[in-house]
Structure 1
Amino acid sequence: MITHFQFKPLFENKEMPGWHFSFYFKKQKYTGIYHPNGEIEWTSSIPPGESADALKAQIHELMLFHVYDK
Structure 2
Amino acid sequence: MLQHFQIQSLYKEKLLPGWLFSFYFRQQKFNGIYHPNGKIEWQSISPDEQYILSLEKQIHDLMIYHIYDNQR
TM-score in terms of structure 1 length: 0.98
Letter in 2 for 1:61: D
- Matching residue of 2:32: 32
What's 1:62 paired with? Answer: 62
Deviation string for 1:19-40 (max 9, x for gaps)?
0000000000000000000000
Distance (Å, rounded) in 1 between the aligned partners of 2:54 and 2:2: 10
SS for the counterpart of 1:55 is helix
User: Which position in structure 2 is the counterpart of 1:52?
Assistant: 52
Give the secondary-structure state (helix, strand or coil) at the position aligned to 1:46.
Answer: coil
Kindly report structure 1 stretches of 4+ aligned residues shifted beyond 4 Å: none
Separation of aligned partners in 1, 2:31 and 2:66: 17
The sequence identity of aligned pairs, in percent, is 53
Gaps of 5+ in 1: none
- Unmatched runs of 5 consecutive residues or more in structure 2: none
CA RMSD of aligned residues (A): 0.4
Number of positions where the alignment pairs a residue of Structure 1 with one of Structure 2: 70
